[in-house]
A and B are shown apart, each in its own frame.
Chain A
Amino acid sequence: DVKVTQSSRYLVKRTGEKVFLECVQDMDHENMFWYRQDPGLGLRLIYFSYDVKMKEKGDIPEGYSVSREKKERFSLILESASTNQTSMYLCASKEAETQYFGPGTRLLVL
Protein backbone atom coordinates (compact mmCIF):
# COMPACT_ATOMS: atom_id res chain seq x y z
CA ASP A 1 0.00 0.00 0.00
CA VAL A 2 1.10 3.53 -0.77
CA LYS A 3 1.81 5.49 2.34
CA VAL A 4 1.97 9.27 2.56
CA THR A 5 2.78 10.67 5.98
CA GLN A 6 2.75 14.22 7.25
CA SER A 7 4.84 15.43 10.14
CA SER A 8 2.03 16.72 12.35
CA ARG A 9 -1.75 16.27 12.58
CA TYR A 10 -2.26 19.51 14.50
CA LEU A 11 -0.07 22.59 14.76
CA VAL A 12 -0.53 25.92 16.52
CA LYS A 13 1.75 28.80 15.56
CA ARG A 14 1.90 32.52 16.13
CA THR A 15 1.71 35.21 13.49
CA GLY A 16 5.10 35.86 11.96
CA GLU A 17 6.59 32.48 12.80
CA LYS A 18 8.28 30.36 10.15
CA VAL A 19 6.42 27.10 9.75
CA PHE A 20 7.63 23.86 8.19
CA LEU A 21 5.21 21.14 7.09
CA GLU A 22 6.81 17.92 5.96
CA CYS A 23 5.49 15.16 3.79
CA VAL A 24 7.06 11.78 3.05
CA GLN A 25 5.94 9.13 0.58
CA ASP A 26 7.27 5.60 0.36
CA MET A 27 6.45 4.67 -3.24
CA ASP A 28 9.15 6.44 -5.24
CA HIS A 29 6.59 8.72 -6.93
CA GLU A 30 7.97 11.57 -8.98
CA ASN A 31 5.03 13.92 -8.53
CA MET A 32 4.11 15.43 -5.18
CA PHE A 33 1.63 18.14 -4.25
CA TRP A 34 0.65 20.51 -1.48
CA TYR A 35 -2.97 21.63 -1.13
CA ARG A 36 -4.91 23.60 1.39
CA GLN A 37 -8.52 22.71 2.12
CA ASP A 38 -11.04 25.22 3.38
CA PRO A 39 -14.80 24.71 3.82
CA GLY A 40 -16.73 25.44 0.64
CA LEU A 41 -13.58 25.93 -1.41
CA GLY A 42 -12.46 22.38 -1.95
CA LEU A 43 -8.77 21.67 -2.31
CA ARG A 44 -6.58 24.41 -3.74
CA LEU A 45 -3.16 23.63 -5.15
CA ILE A 46 -0.31 25.58 -3.57
CA TYR A 47 2.74 24.00 -5.20
CA PHE A 48 3.69 20.79 -6.90
CA SER A 49 6.96 19.08 -7.71
CA TYR A 50 7.64 16.71 -10.58
CA ASP A 51 11.18 15.76 -9.58
CA VAL A 52 13.87 16.43 -7.03
CA LYS A 53 14.62 20.17 -6.84
CA MET A 54 11.88 20.85 -9.43
CA LYS A 55 8.78 22.76 -8.43
CA GLU A 56 5.96 24.71 -9.97
CA LYS A 57 3.46 27.14 -8.54
CA GLY A 58 -0.13 26.09 -8.24
CA ASP A 59 -3.10 28.42 -7.96
CA ILE A 60 -2.32 29.97 -4.56
CA PRO A 61 1.47 30.07 -3.99
CA GLU A 62 1.61 33.50 -2.32
CA GLY A 63 3.04 33.32 1.17
CA TYR A 64 4.38 29.78 0.68
CA SER A 65 7.55 28.14 -0.57
CA VAL A 66 8.53 24.49 -1.00
CA SER A 67 11.59 22.32 -0.91
CA ARG A 68 12.28 18.94 -2.46
CA GLU A 69 15.81 17.80 -1.76
CA LYS A 70 15.00 14.09 -1.83
CA LYS A 71 12.49 12.25 -3.96
CA GLU A 72 10.48 10.95 -1.01
CA ARG A 73 10.21 14.24 0.88
CA PHE A 74 8.33 17.42 -0.03
CA SER A 75 8.26 20.29 2.44
CA LEU A 76 5.93 23.27 2.57
CA ILE A 77 7.27 26.42 4.21
CA LEU A 78 5.28 29.37 5.48
CA GLU A 79 7.93 32.08 5.64
CA SER A 80 5.95 34.32 7.99
CA ALA A 81 2.70 32.75 9.11
CA SER A 82 -0.44 34.85 8.98
CA THR A 83 -3.92 34.22 10.36
CA ASN A 84 -5.34 33.74 6.86
CA GLN A 85 -3.10 30.69 6.52
CA THR A 86 -5.09 28.87 9.17
CA SER A 87 -6.30 25.84 7.26
CA MET A 88 -6.04 22.10 6.66
CA TYR A 89 -2.94 21.27 4.62
CA LEU A 90 -2.91 18.10 2.56
CA CYS A 91 0.07 16.54 0.85
CA ALA A 92 -0.26 14.04 -1.99
CA SER A 93 1.91 11.95 -4.24
CA LYS A 94 0.78 10.73 -7.62
CA GLU A 95 1.11 7.60 -9.69
CA ALA A 96 -0.51 7.61 -13.13
CA GLU A 97 -3.77 9.51 -12.52
CA THR A 98 -4.19 8.57 -8.86
CA GLN A 99 -3.24 10.99 -6.11
CA TYR A 100 -2.56 9.46 -2.71
CA PHE A 101 -3.18 11.87 0.12
CA GLY A 102 -1.64 12.10 3.54
CA PRO A 103 -3.81 12.49 6.66
CA GLY A 104 -3.45 16.28 6.67
CA THR A 105 -2.10 18.89 9.06
CA ARG A 106 -4.57 21.22 10.67
CA LEU A 107 -2.70 24.49 11.22
CA LEU A 108 -3.97 27.24 13.46
CA VAL A 109 -2.17 30.59 13.28
CA LEU A 110 -2.87 32.89 16.23
Chain B
Amino acid sequence: GQSLEQPSEVTAVEGAIVQINCTYQTSGFYGLSWYQQHDGGAPTFLSYNALDGLEETGRFSSFLSRSDSYGYLLLQELQMKDSASYFCAVRNYGQNFVFGPGTRLSVLP
Protein backbone atom coordinates (compact mmCIF):
# COMPACT_ATOMS: atom_id res chain seq x y z
CA GLY B 1 0.00 0.00 0.00
CA GLN B 2 0.86 3.65 0.04
CA SER B 3 1.17 5.60 3.23
CA LEU B 4 2.59 8.77 4.69
CA GLU B 5 3.16 9.22 8.40
CA GLN B 6 3.27 12.47 10.34
CA PRO B 7 2.87 13.29 14.03
CA SER B 8 -0.74 14.15 14.77
CA GLU B 9 0.01 17.15 16.98
CA VAL B 10 2.92 19.44 17.82
CA THR B 11 2.95 22.28 20.33
CA ALA B 12 5.55 25.05 20.60
CA VAL B 13 5.86 28.60 21.91
CA GLU B 14 6.19 31.82 19.98
CA GLY B 15 9.69 32.44 18.71
CA ALA B 16 10.70 28.79 18.91
CA ILE B 17 11.71 26.39 16.14
CA VAL B 18 9.63 23.33 15.32
CA GLN B 19 10.23 20.40 12.99
CA ILE B 20 7.41 18.34 11.48
CA ASN B 21 8.53 14.98 10.14
CA CYS B 22 7.07 12.96 7.31
CA THR B 23 7.96 9.42 6.32
CA TYR B 24 6.50 7.89 3.21
CA GLN B 25 6.02 4.55 1.56
CA THR B 26 4.68 4.91 -1.97
CA SER B 27 4.77 2.99 -5.24
CA GLY B 28 6.64 5.80 -6.99
CA PHE B 29 8.22 9.10 -6.07
CA TYR B 30 8.65 12.35 -7.93
CA GLY B 31 8.78 14.73 -4.99
CA LEU B 32 7.52 15.79 -1.58
CA SER B 33 5.33 18.84 -1.01
CA TRP B 34 4.11 20.63 2.09
CA TYR B 35 0.80 22.45 2.55
CA GLN B 36 -0.59 24.60 5.32
CA GLN B 37 -4.26 24.69 6.22
CA HIS B 38 -5.83 27.03 8.76
CA ASP B 39 -9.10 25.98 10.37
CA GLY B 40 -11.94 26.56 7.92
CA GLY B 41 -9.53 27.45 5.13
CA ALA B 42 -8.16 25.83 2.01
CA PRO B 43 -4.72 24.19 1.93
CA THR B 44 -2.00 26.49 0.61
CA PHE B 45 1.27 25.41 -0.92
CA LEU B 46 4.46 25.90 1.10
CA SER B 47 7.28 23.99 -0.57
CA TYR B 48 8.37 21.19 -2.89
CA ASN B 49 11.46 18.99 -2.79
CA ALA B 50 12.40 16.69 -5.64
CA LEU B 51 16.06 16.29 -4.75
CA ASP B 52 17.83 15.54 -1.49
CA GLY B 53 18.70 18.49 0.67
CA LEU B 54 17.29 21.57 2.30
CA GLU B 55 15.16 24.22 0.58
CA GLU B 56 14.70 27.50 2.41
CA THR B 57 11.87 29.96 1.92
CA GLY B 58 11.86 32.69 4.52
CA ARG B 59 11.05 31.28 7.96
CA PHE B 60 10.14 27.90 6.49
CA SER B 61 12.55 25.26 5.26
CA SER B 62 11.90 21.80 3.88
CA PHE B 63 14.25 18.84 3.77
CA LEU B 64 14.21 15.60 1.81
CA SER B 65 16.19 12.37 2.01
CA ARG B 66 15.07 10.05 -0.76
CA SER B 67 17.22 7.18 0.46
CA ASP B 68 15.46 7.32 3.86
CA SER B 69 11.98 8.06 2.42
CA TYR B 70 11.88 10.94 4.85
CA GLY B 71 11.36 14.65 4.87
CA TYR B 72 10.61 17.42 7.29
CA LEU B 73 9.26 20.93 7.44
CA LEU B 74 11.15 23.33 9.68
CA LEU B 75 9.41 26.43 10.96
CA GLN B 76 11.57 29.09 12.60
CA GLU B 77 10.68 32.15 14.68
CA LEU B 78 7.23 30.75 15.27
CA GLN B 79 4.33 33.18 15.23
CA MET B 80 0.78 32.75 16.47
CA LYS B 81 -0.46 32.83 12.89
CA ASP B 82 1.54 29.63 12.20
CA SER B 83 -1.02 27.68 14.23
CA ALA B 84 -2.53 25.46 11.56
CA SER B 85 -2.47 21.94 10.16
CA TYR B 86 0.46 20.94 7.98
CA PHE B 87 0.28 18.19 5.38
CA CYS B 88 3.05 16.45 3.51
CA ALA B 89 2.18 15.05 0.09
CA VAL B 90 4.00 12.76 -2.32
CA ARG B 91 3.58 12.93 -6.07
CA ASN B 92 4.03 9.23 -6.69
CA TYR B 93 3.36 8.88 -10.43
CA GLY B 94 1.85 10.98 -13.19
CA GLN B 95 -0.38 13.49 -11.45
CA ASN B 96 -1.30 11.15 -8.61
CA PHE B 97 -0.77 12.65 -5.17
CA VAL B 98 -0.91 11.00 -1.77
CA PHE B 99 -1.31 13.22 1.29
CA GLY B 100 -0.34 12.52 4.86
CA PRO B 101 -2.92 12.66 7.68
CA GLY B 102 -1.72 16.11 8.77
CA THR B 103 0.01 17.58 11.81
CA ARG B 104 -1.82 20.10 13.92
CA LEU B 105 0.59 22.77 15.15
CA SER B 106 -0.38 24.87 18.14
CA VAL B 107 1.73 27.93 18.88
CA LEU B 108 1.42 29.18 22.43
CA PRO B 109 2.16 32.74 23.60
* Main SS at interface, chain A: strand
In the complex the two chains form, what is the Cα distance from A70 to B67 in whole Å? Answer: 41
Complex interface: chain B residues within 8 A of A59 (CB): 2, 96, 98
Residue contact B48 to A98, C-beta cutoff 8 Å:
yes
B42: which of A31, A45, A50, A101 is its contact (CB, 8 Å)?
A101
Write the chain A residue with the least CB distance to B1: A59
Whether B42 pairs with A90 at a CB distance below 8 angstroms is: yes
Q: Tell me, in angstroms, the Cα distance from A90 to B95 when the chains sit together.
A: 16
Asked if A74 CB lies within 8 Å of chain B CBs, one says no
How far does the Cβ of A109 sit from chain B's closest Cβ, in whole Å?
Answer: 21
Within 8 Å of chain B (Cβ to Cβ): is A94?
Answer: yes
A101 & B43 in contact (Cβ 8 Å cutoff): yes
- In this assembly, does B33 line the interface, its C-beta being within 8 Å of a C-beta of chain A? yes
Question: Contacts A42-B87, A101-B42, A102-B42 given: A31-B100 contact, CB under 8 Å?
Answer: no
Q: Are A58 and B96 in contact (CB under 8 A)?
A: yes
**Restricting to B61-109, which residues have a CB under 8 Å from any CB of A?**
87, 89, 91, 94-102
Q: Which one of B33, B42, B45 contacts A104 once the chains associate, using CB atoms below 8 Å?
A: B42
Known: A33-B97, A42-B101, A56-B94. 19 other contacts (CB 8 A): A33-B95, A40-B8, A40-B102, A42-B100, A43-B43, A45-B97, A45-B98, A50-B94, A50-B95, A56-B96, A59-B2, A59-B96, A59-B98, A90-B43, A97-B31, A99-B35, A99-B43, A99-B45, A99-B97
7 contacts between A and B (CB under 8 A): A40-B8, A40-B101, A40-B102, A45-B99, A48-B95, A99-B45, A100-B45
Which A residues fall within an 8 A CB radius of B? Answer: 31, 33, 35, 40-45, 48, 50, 56, 58-59, 90, 94, 97-104
